[in-house]
């Protein structure tokens, strides 16, 4: 339909036009507003983005810094920095993570009887705080087992003492986390200042990280110290080991060189420890060594260094001495301390020691030379029977164990061994029998006593051919004396535990006696005390076989190594030989006198014979006689002498002279024997 013409005078037209104009205006205005809003939003978004990029960069930078700080802490750990320095770094890291917070790291006290903590690190914390935290019972130990999140220290009973100590200086809020979980190695403590802004989540993360790092640092340090300790100490006794001793010796020698001072290096070895150890068992042997170490510690001076070199050997460095006499006096103190009876697992044990020492600068200024000197002197003291002190002299330097073994082999091959005999007498001096004691004659060094080669012979197994030779020689000698009409002279022969462990031993003894037509009733075998306790079935079988052949058996060195009275009645033996260590103190110590009396009483009650060994003085003789001892042996009567020198007594005895004048024996025999001692 064609449109009607517009009448502009029509009021409807004007209304419609106005509406259209308004509408268009509105549309335009809306469009402009929308444009403006969009633009503003865009601007804001850009600003936000910029801000968040800045924040994110800042956060990343912080995180990277913290990461680097953690890595630095790990590096400090692996380079074994002191624990305090590592914990300081942990505290610093934590404070950086939580601005406005102060961090303290506590360490648990090592003494578990006194549970509590002390400050291990507080690099930026006021001294009054550190002091207050360490004050006795300032905070109950239970608190450190946390975690704790205390918002008001004054109101919380756990913190009241601390708040009281610090007054207004006490932070209102404290958070803690234990280090090391249940085993509480310490604690991380955060003190919140008024400017603290961190969220609970941030606190929680930082506390957990600090606690973990603290634990790693403490455990790492403990492990490091443990390894250090093991590298330098003997774990059984806690004494320094040889490596630490040598280190200290080098230091002491430097100092002595500068100050022109004198000192000593001592070597201490227990006598017959192996026997004691075998008799008591290894656990008790360890207890005994620990006891000896404790005594050495007490007897040594405060500036001395003690070490255990292994087994039963100890070294002592005395860096400040005036003279050789000082060293001797110190060694005597040590010897005395060792030979006091010890109670180990309910048994009374008596051990003695051999001590050798070298002096610096007198015997050298080289650690090796000095230790060798002390060792040679100690070995010499041992060879002279043990329980004594020997200063180094050039002549006792020749001995070392490898050479001794060579000497034994050469001695067996070239017939250099001889048997000496020491008389045993009754309480009025009458001759009763002899003990056979082997010696090695050396082309250059003269007569070598058995303690210098028997231990080596036992260790190397050479004791078997050597022991067989001694028995052969004794049987041959007995047969010769019989031919000379001295009768069936009673002779005791020492037998090593190594020999009796052989299933052939009794048979060999029987064959040897048969070869020389020896009557078994005149032959006694001396076995050491430890053997009777540890004897295996084979050794027992051998002992029974020997006794059934008519030989006598005695327990040698009775009283050393084991307090054997309680089992004495179970043993198939004929006599006991009281060890020299009891005899030595019998005239001076009432305790020794009582002990000897008791041992003699019990032995005799069981029908056993008793021989006291090592009687050297009239006073000892008198005390032994008073204690009821029936038989004795010792230098007072005679030293061990060659077979030919015994014959005058055998002659007197067989002619019925009865009592011998023991002083006459001593006078007649001793001069000829003095040369037998190892040249010292
Ligand atoms: P032992 O069986 O305890 O022998 C006693 C030791 O004490 C002997 O040392 C003897 O000379 C010494 N003696 C005797 N009276 C006194 C004294 O009044 N004072 C002092 N201080 N000592 C005295 P010796 O001859 O040096 O023998 C030491 C050890 O060697 C013997 O101790 C024994 O265990 C061992 N031994 C000796 N000969 C043999 C042997 O043929 N075979 C075995 N397996 N061991 C032997
Ligand atoms: Ca003996
Ligand atoms: Ca003995």
Ligand 1 near 467 CB (within 6 A): yes
Q: Residue of the nearest CA to atom 38 in ligand 1?
A: 437
Longest dimension (CA), the chain: 186
- Tell me, in angstroms, the distance from the centre of ligand 2 to residue 494's CA: 5
pLDDT in tens, 390-421: 888 765 555 566 778 899 999 999 999 999 99
- Tell me, in angstroms, the distance from the centre of ligand 2 to residue 138's CA: 68
Ligand 1 near 557 CB (within 6 A): yes
Measured CA to CA, the distance from residue 170 to residue 164 in angstroms comes to 8
pLDDT on residue 564: 58
- Tell me, in angstroms, the distance from the centre of ligand 3 to residue 557's CA: 4
Report residue 448: phi and psi, to 5°: -105, 125
- Tell me, in angstroms, the distance from the centre of ligand 3 to residue 576's CA: 10
- Tell me, in angstroms, the distance from the centre of ligand 1 to residue 610's CA: 17
Q: Which of 437, 449, 523 to mutate to test the pocket of ligand 1 (most atoms within 8 A of CB)?
A: 437
Ligand 1 near 450 CB (within 6 A): yes
Structure tokens at 451: 């303690």
- Tell me, in angstroms, the distance from the centre of ligand 1 to residue 442's CA: 19
Q: Residue of the nearest CA to atom 15 in ligand 1?
A: 634
pLDDT on residue 632: 96
Ligand 1 near 614 CB (within 6 A): yes
* Ligand minimally distant from the alpha carbon of residue 496: 1
pLDDT on residue 584: 84
Ligand 1 near 73 CB (within 6 A): no
Ligand 1 near 214 CB (within 6 A): no
pLDDT on residue 428: 81
The answer to whether the beta carbons of residues 142 and 223 sit under 8 Å apart is no
Q: Residue of the nearest CA to atom 42 in ligand 1?
A: 494
Ligand 1 near 457 CB (within 6 A): no
pLDDT on residue 200: 86
Ligand 1 near 437 CB (within 6 A): yes
pLDDT on residue 529: 74
Q: Residue of the nearest CA to atom 43 in ligand 1?
A: 494
Domains of the chain listed by start with CATH number? 83-232 (3.30.450.40), 242-394 (3.30.70.270), 443-666 (3.20.20.450)
CA atoms lying within 13 Å on the CB side of residue 648 = 12
Q: Which of 386, 450, 501, 612 to mutate to test the pocket of ligand 1 (most atoms within 8 A of CB)?
A: 450
- The closest-lying atom of ligand 1 relative to the alpha carbon of residue 579 is 3
- Tell me, in angstroms, the distance from the centre of ligand 2 to residue 533's CA: 18
- Tell me, in angstroms, the distance from the centre of ligand 1 to residue 26's CA: 132
What residues form DSSP beta bridges with 313? 269, 310
Ligand 1 near 556 CB (within 6 A): yes
Ligand 1 near 551 CB (within 6 A): no
- Tell me, in angstroms, the distance from the centre of ligand 2 to residue 526's CA: 6
Ligand 1 near 470 CB (within 6 A): yes
Q: What are the Cα distances from residue 30, in Å, to 33, 42, 134, 156, 256?
A: 5, 18, 73, 63, 103
Show Cβ contacts of residue 18 under 8 Å, excluding neighbours closer than 6 positions: none
Measured CA to CA, the distance from residue 362 to residue 262 in angstroms comes to 8
pLDDT on residue 658: 43
Cis status, amide bond into 438, omega within 30 of 0: no
Alpha-helix runs per DSSP H in 421-504: 454-460, 463-483, 497-500
Ligand 1 near 451 CB (within 6 A): yes
Ligand 1 near 123 CB (within 6 A): no
CA atoms lying within 13 Å on the CB side of residue 74 = 7
Ligand 1 near 494 CB (within 6 A): yes
- What pTM does this model have? 0.54
pLDDT on residue 374: 94
The phi-psi region of residue 317 (left if phi > 0; otherwise alpha if psi is between -120 and 50; otherwise beta) is beta
- Sign of the dihedral through C-alpha 506, 509, 515, 518: negative
Show Cβ contacts of residue 58 under 8 Å, excluding neighbours closer than 6 positions: none
pLDDT on residue 246: 94
Nearest alpha carbon to residue 312 among 260, 393, 394, 236: 236
Q: Residue of the nearest CA to atom 27 in ligand 1?
A: 450
Measured CA to CA, the distance from residue 390 to residue 331 in angstroms comes to 9
Ligand 1 near 635 CB (within 6 A): yes
Cis status, amide bond into 375, omega within 30 of 0: no
The answer to whether the beta carbons of residues 187 and 179 sit under 8 Å apart is yes
- Tell me, in angstroms, the distance from the centre of ligand 3 to residue 385's CA: 10
Q: Residue of the nearest CA to atom 41 in ligand 1?
A: 438
Ligand 1 near 386 CB (within 6 A): no
* Ligand minimally distant from the alpha carbon of residue 381: 1
* Ligand minimally distant from the alpha carbon of residue 579: 3
Ligand 1 near 277 CB (within 6 A): no
* Ligand minimally distant from the alpha carbon of residue 558: 3
pLDDT on residue 674: 24
Mean pLDDT of each 10-residue bin along the chain, 680 residues long: 61 73 72 78 81 79 82 84 92 90 90 77 87 81 85 84 79 89 86 82 90 90 84 91 94 94 96 81 91 95 92 94 90 92 85 93 92 89 83 64 86 96 89 95 84 83 96 98 94 93 93 97 89 71 93 87 61 88 84 85 90 94 93 94 91 60 35 25
DSSP label of 5: P
How confident is the prediction for the chain on average, in pLDDT? 85
Ligand 1 near 584 CB (within 6 A): no
- Tell me, in angstroms, the distance from the centre of ligand 3 to residue 581's CA: 10
Ligand 1 near 496 CB (within 6 A): yes
- Tell me, in angstroms, the distance from the centre of ligand 3 to residue 92's CA: 71
pLDDT on residue 171: 81
């Amino acid at each position: 339909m064609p449109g009607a013409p517009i009448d502009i005078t029509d009021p409807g037209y004007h209304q419609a036009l106005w509406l259209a104009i308004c509408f268009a205006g509105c549309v335009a205005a809306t469009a402009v507003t929308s444009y403006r809003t969009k633009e503003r939003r865009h601007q804001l978004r850009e600003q936000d983005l910029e801000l968040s990029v800045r924040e994110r960069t800042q956060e990343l930078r912080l995180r990277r810094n913290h990461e680097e700080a953690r890595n630095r802490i790990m590096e400090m750990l692996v380079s074994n920095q002191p624990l305090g320095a590592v914990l300081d770094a942990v505290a610093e890291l934590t404070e950086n993570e939580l601005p406005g917070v102060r961090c303290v790291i506590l360490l648990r006290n090592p003494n578990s009887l006194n549970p509590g903590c002390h400050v291990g690190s507080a690099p930026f914390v006021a001294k009054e705080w550190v002091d207050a935290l360490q004050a006795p019972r300032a905070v109950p130990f239970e608190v450190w087992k946390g975690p704790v999140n205390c918002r008001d220290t004054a109101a919380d009973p756990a913190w009241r003492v601390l708040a009281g100590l610090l007054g207004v200086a006490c932070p209102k809020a404290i958070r803690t986390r234990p280090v090391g979980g249940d085993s509480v190695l310490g604690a991380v403590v955060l003190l919140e200042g008024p400017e603290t802004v961190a969220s609970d989540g941030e606190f929680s993360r930082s506390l957990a990280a600090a606690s973990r790092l603290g634990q790693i640092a403490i455990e790492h340090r403990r492990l490091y110290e443990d390894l250090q300790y093991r590298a330098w100490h003997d774990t059984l006794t806690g004494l320094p080991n040889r490596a630490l001793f040598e280190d200290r010796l080098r230091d002491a020698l430097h100092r002595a060189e500068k100050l022109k001072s004198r000192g000593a290096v001592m070597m201490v070895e227990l006598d017959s420890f192996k026997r004691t150890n075998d008799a008591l068992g290894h656990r008790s042997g360890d207890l005994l060594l620990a006891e000896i170490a404790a005594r050495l510690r007490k007897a040594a001076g405060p500036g001395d260094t003690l070490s255990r070199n292994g087994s039963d050997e100890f070294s002592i460095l005395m860096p400040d001495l005036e003279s050789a006499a000082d060293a001797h006096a110190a060694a005597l103190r040590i010897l005395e301390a060792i030979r006091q009876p010890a109670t180990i697992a309910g048994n009374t044990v008596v051990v003695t020691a051999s001590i050798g020492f070298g002096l610096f600068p007198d015997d050298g200024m080289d650690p090796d030379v000095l230790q060798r000197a002390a060792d040679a002197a100690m070995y010499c003291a041992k060879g002279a029977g043990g329980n004594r002190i020997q200063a180094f002299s050039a002549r006792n330097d020749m001995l070392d164990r490898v050479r001794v073994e060579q000497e034994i082999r050469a001695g067996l091959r070239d017939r250099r061994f001889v048997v000496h005999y020491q008389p045993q007498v009754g309480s009025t001096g009458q001759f009763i029998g002899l003990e056979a004691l082997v010696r090695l004659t050396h082309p250059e060094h003269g007569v070598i006593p058995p303690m210098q080669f028997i231990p080596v012979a036992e260790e190397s197994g050479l004791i078997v051919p050597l022991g067989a030779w001694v028995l052969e020689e004794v049987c041959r000698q007995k047969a010769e004396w019989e031919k000379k009409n001295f009768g069936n002279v009673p002779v005791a022969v020492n037998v090593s535990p190594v020999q009796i462990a052989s299933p052939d031993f009794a048979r060999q003894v029987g064959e040897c006696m048969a070869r020389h037509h020896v009557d078994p009733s005149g032959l006694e075998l001396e076995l050491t005390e430890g053997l009777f306790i540890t004897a295996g079935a084979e050794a027992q079988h051998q002992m029974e076989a020997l006794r059934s052949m008519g030989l006598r058996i005695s327990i040698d060195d009775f009283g050393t190594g084991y307090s054997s009275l309680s089992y004495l009645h179970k043993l198939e033996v004929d006599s006991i030989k009281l060890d020299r260590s009891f005899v030595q103190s019998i005239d001076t110590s009432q305790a020794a006198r009582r002990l000897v009396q008791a041992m003699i009483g019990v032995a005799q009650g069981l029908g056993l014979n008793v021989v006291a060994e090592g009687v050297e003085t009239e006073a000892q003789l008198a005390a032994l006689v008073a204690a009821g001892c029936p038989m004795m042996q010792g230098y007072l009567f005679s030293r061990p002498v060659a077979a030919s020198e015994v014959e005058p007594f055998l002659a007197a005895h067989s002619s019925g002279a009865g009592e011998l004048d023991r002083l006459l024996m001593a006078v007649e025999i001793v001069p000829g024997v003095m040369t037998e001692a190892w040249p010292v």
